[in-house]
Structure 1
Amino acid sequence: MIARELLASTDIAQPGAERVAVDELFSVLGTRGWGDYFSHLQAAQLGIAGYWFLANASLEPCLVQQAAVLRHWIDGLRVTGGGTRHLLIEHPQIELAAFAAALLWRLHNQAASRRIPIDRVLVPELPAGIRAYLEGQCLNLVEDPAATGVTLDIGEDAWQAPFVTHNRKLLPLLSESLVFLQGDEDDSVAGKVYRQLESMVSLAEVNQAQLAQSLAMSDRTLSRQLADEGTNFRELLTRQRNARAVAGLCQGDAIDVLSAALGFSERAAFERAFKGWQGVTPAKFQAQYRRLSRDVDIERLISPEQLPALPAIASELLAMAQDDQASLEDMAALVERDPVLTAKLLNIACSAYYGLPPGTRIRDAVIRVFGVDRLRYLALSVLAASGFSTSHCPAFSMAQFWVVSLSVAQLACECVRLQGQPQEQQADIYLAGLLHAIGRLVLVQCFPVKMQQLLAQLNQAPAPQEMLAMEKLRLGVDASEAGALLVAKWQLPRAVSVFMRQLASEKNNMSAQAGLILVLHEYVLACLAEDQERTQVASSQLIQLLGIDAGKIERMLEAFNQKLPGLNAAANAI
């Protein structure tokens, strides 16, 4: 698990090498801050056993009832003594036993929502790098040359500390699933069927006859033996779908993709089934789990050095906004110092969406289309995006990024105008629309492999908050957090950073500005996908949100839809 995350981002392994020295690896964990990152691994990355751990009421029932389940975190792990408060964790590679011990304790502290010291940790003689790693996790190490693994001596406070993540409804489901994780310990026919289902990549084509054949028995015999054990194939399939749905949502899988993999003909059927299992929709479950996860220090995942500097002209544009003496001609002259920027801005102004004739100058674009503030912010956004590299993530479309950003900015500005807001607020919402997704460029540049895996699975762009939840669960950070980090480094107005963080909030905690941007983002995605039902839902949400005459909003959206191909062409030209 460590190597999968680290080797792509460190130079300690020679090209093509399959192994790396343990001490070197753990040294990197410490010096690069990765140790703390792994301490915050989400339960999704530990499988069903991880979710089950968090769902318990406290550590005591976890270890008394099913301590052996923890061995499913890492292949080859052996865990004994849970009922005695002296938990022995063994593995042929002692570094993995050490990693599992640290992971267990930090996951415990996450579930308890407070740091609880452990009485002591008995360890054999360890390589220096591993020992330093464990000490860095605030574990009280006591060396015992006779030790065969890592033993956690757990105090009463830690043993009884209530888990704030306790989930009474989820726990029975996960406990049932764990019965089948015991491998050879469960030799029932139901256990064998469940493990067969669990081993399948997709449940789309699975049927009872297929399972019976794999177990060398007839369909009728399988039905009879399952009935003798008090269950049936459909019940086992439902249980596996339920458990796999929980696992997939918690690890950030796309709902549409997960629905197909579980064998549902359409997303709506999956949503109905999941709501019956868990009482909430898949999207709400995923969002709740995302918020349940403890936030990590984003700068441990994305260092400021990985972020591009704001170009000099962009800084001058921001400074000019504070200069009461700066004229329209001053701003036009500043923009025209950058021929590439000038060309991109004029491509937008002369697109079919805005309709200026070829040969238009920047000054005319300001007067006839944008206005001073909006052109300044558009130039700032174009310059900001130019500093990112997306070539290592081919599934990411810069053209779609721009058509969504430009569309949301334009529509947001129109909405605020229809509400009768002053020019200053129209300019502010325009900037918010342009920059609201810039954090995704940060993620693509800093996590190209993981973002490629995430984006490549999508048949169409998910709703904005669904995408944020998937990013958070896959990467540990989402586009709203990455964007807030970026604008803070660039010293843009603090209000922009605050706004970005609100994009992943619950709706009742969200500002009106953030809510408007999200609804417009969803509307634009629906238009681009030519999904009429999705478009209608988003437009209805917009009408409800704005609280103004529905006819005005519908006319605004209709005018936008007619001009969208022109904006799409402009986005491709940026």
Structure 2
Amino acid sequence: MQKLVAEIESLPVTPNVFESIERELKNADPSIKKVAEYISMDVGLVAKILKLVNSPYFGLPTQIDSILQTITMLGLESVKALILSTHLFSMYDQKKLPNFSLNLLWEHSFRVSNIVRLICECEKIDKTLAVQARMAGLLHDIGKLVLANSFPAQYGKVIKKVAEIHLPICDCEMEVLGTTHAHIGAYLMGLWGMPGDIVHAIGTHHQYEGFDMSVSMLLRIADAIDHQCVIINPDYVRIKLDRNIFSDGQHGLPLEKWINYINDHWEGMDEFQVLDADMLTQLRS
């Protein structure tokens, strides 16, 4: 992975507004109002964030009209993740990879983030952990953007291989590039100073096996659920969960309970199918 990163001409850097927010938060008496003002200075960013948080993919029950209201509703950490993901997605050129849809990847990231939120809500999980898990959901696939933009020819081979041999995309990435989008994404988030639990979750979101209600486990399950319910690319192999994640020795993984809760509490998300018995079986490898 480090060898590949060394070949990238320039890794993405944090946006200026993010650095302004971080400076404000380091003050003895940080002001959320000032943070909102910093963000509001970038009119384009404000428009993108408000469009996103008011979409069905974000699953909010009310219309949001300002950045201050967004921070109040979602919390500052979630807004910071929104800024980073918006910044990253706006950096890349769709024309470089005609078969790689930024919009579909963007929507997937938002759905995974919301699935995580609903699972945490269902299980009444600690707020700090829930916020970190939601941030990880928003940012978990940013490694795909870095790889697709920096190595378009090689990543085109990855996508072609996925269609030909029907293996998960991370397996094909490893074969062609020697690393995966999960590892690259974790590396970048580490450089940007994201909390360790978020970095670890991003790096292991296709392989985590522990039953421990951690950020890593929650992201792993939410990602698998979305890949079962919404077909991002017809050539992609549907993600399955490893057997080890299904039991902690006492209680089984309550997939049915979580799926039912998601469907009961996600208004306006018509694309999200109710998982039937066959699909639940597909999740279990």
Amino acid at match of 2:110: L
Conserved 8 A contact 1:405-1:436: yes
Could you tell me how far apart the structure 2 residues matched to 1:523 and 1:505 are?
Answer: 14
Percent of aligned pairs with the same amino acid = 19
* Correspondences of 1:381-396 after superposition (within 5 Å): 381-396=85-100
What is the aligned partner in structure 2 of residue 469 from structure 1? 171
Shift of 1:432: 1.0
Conserved? CA contact 1:348–1:354, under 8 Å: no
The aligned counterpart of 2:38 is 334
Partner of 1:518: 220
Equivalent residues in 2 for 1:524-535 (5 A)?
524-529=226-231
Q: For the Cα contact (< 8 Å) 1:519–1:542, is it kept in 2?
A: no
358, 362, 366: which is aligned to 2:67?
A: 362
TM-score (norm 1): 0.40
Answer whether contact 2:40 2:67 (CA < 8 A) is retained. Answer: yes
- Tell me the distance in 2 between the aligned counterparts of 1:429 and 1:402: 17
Answering whether residue 202 of structure 2 is matched by residue 491 of structure 1, we say: no
What root-mean-square deviation, in Å, do the aligned CA atoms of Structure 1 and Structure 2 show?
3.6
Give the structure 2 partner of residue 446 of structure 1: 150
Give the aligned length. 261
Q: Is the contact made by 1:412 and 1:430 (CA closer than 8 Å) also made in structure 2? A: yes
Compared with structure 1, are the counterparts of its residues 510 and 354 closer, same or farther at alpha carbon in structure 2 (3 Å cutoff)? closer
Please state how far the C-alpha of 1:543 moved relative to its aligned partner.
Answer: 8.0
Aligned residue identity for 1:354 = L
Equivalent AA in structure 1 for residue 194 of structure 2:
L
Partner of residue 300, structure 1: 3
1:31-430 mapped onto 2 (5 Å cutoff): 298-303=1-6, 305-323=9-27, 325-352=29-56, 353-354=59-60, 356-357=62-63, 360-367=65-72, 369-430=73-134
In 2, the alpha carbon distance for the partners of 1:503 and 1:363 equals: 32
> Structure 2 stretches of 5 or more lacking a match?
273-285
Q: Secondary structure at the match of 2:100?
A: coil
Contact 2:186/2:200, CA 8 A, preserved across alignment = yes
Aligned-residue offset at 1:475:
1.0
Structure 1 residue 426: Cα displacement? 1.4
Give TM-score scaled by structure 2 length.
0.76
Change (3 A) 1:548 1:496: closer
Match of 2:259 in 1: 554
Aligned to 1:480: 182
Deviations 1:424-454 (A, max 9, x none): 1111111111111111111101210121232
Q: Distance in 2 between matches of 1:518 and 1:494?
A: 16
Deviation at 1:320, TM superposition (A): 4.1
List alignment gaps of at least 5 residues for structure 1: 1-297, 568-574
The residue type equivalent to 2:127 in the other structure is Q
Distance change in 2, residues 1:318/1:384 (3 Å): farther
Distance 2:180 2:213 in 1: 19
Distance across 1 between alignment mates of 2:169 and 2:191: 24
Per the alignment, in what secondary structure is the counterpart of residue 529 of structure 1?
Answer: coil
Shift of 1:321: 4.5
Deviation at 1:406, TM superposition (A): 0.9
Equivalent AA in structure 2 for residue 527 of structure 1: C
Shift of 1:323: 4.5
What does residue 277 of structure 2 align with? none
What is the alpha-carbon distance in structure 2 between the residues aligned to residue 450 and residue 485 of structure 1? 20
Change (3 A) 1:565 1:447: farther
Distance across 2 between alignment mates of 1:324 and 1:348? 32
* Residue pair 1:314, 1:383 contacting (<8 A) in 2 also: no
